[in-house]
Amino acid sequence: MVAEQIRARGVADSRVLDAMTRVPRERFIPEESRHEAYADRPVPIGFGATISQPYIVGYMTEALKVEPSHRVLEIGTGCGYQTAVLAELAARVYSIEVIPELAARARGTLESLGYTNVLVRTGDGHDGWPDEAPFDRILGAAAASEVPGALVAQLADEGIMVIPVGQALGAQELHVLQKHGDTLATLATLPVRFVPMVRARER
Ligand code: SAH
Whether the full predicted model's pTM is greater than 0.85, yes or no, is yes
95: Cβ below 6 Å to ligand 1? no
Structural domains for the chain: 2-202 (3.40.50.150)
Mutate to test the pocket of ligand 1, among 53, 56, 75 (most ligand atoms within 8 A of CB): 75
* C-alpha–C-alpha distance, residues 7 and 152, integer Å: 31
The phi-psi region of residue 48 (left if phi > 0; otherwise alpha if psi is between -120 and 50; otherwise beta) is: left
Q: DSSP letter string over 142-183?
A: SBBSS--HHHHHTEEEEEEEEEEE--STT-EEEEEEEEETTE
Could you list the beta-strand ranges (E) of the chain. 43-46, 49-51, 71-75, 92-97, 118-122, 135-140, 155-165, 172-180, 183-192
49: Cβ below 6 Å to ligand 1? yes
pLDDT of res. 200: 84
38: CA distance to ligand 1 center in Å?
Answer: 20
Residues with catalytic annotation?
Answer: 52
147: Cβ below 6 Å to ligand 1? no
pLDDT of res. 169: 67
Is residue 54 within 8 Å of 1, Cβ to Cβ? yes
In tens digits, the chain (203 residues) has pLDDT values of 999 999 999 999 999 999 999 999 999 999 999 999 999 999 999 998 999 999 999 999 999 999 999 999 999 999 999 999 999 999 999 999 999 999 999 999 999 999 999 999 999 999 999 999 999 999 999 999 999 999 999 999 999 999 999 977 678 999 999 999 999 999 988 999 999 999 986 65
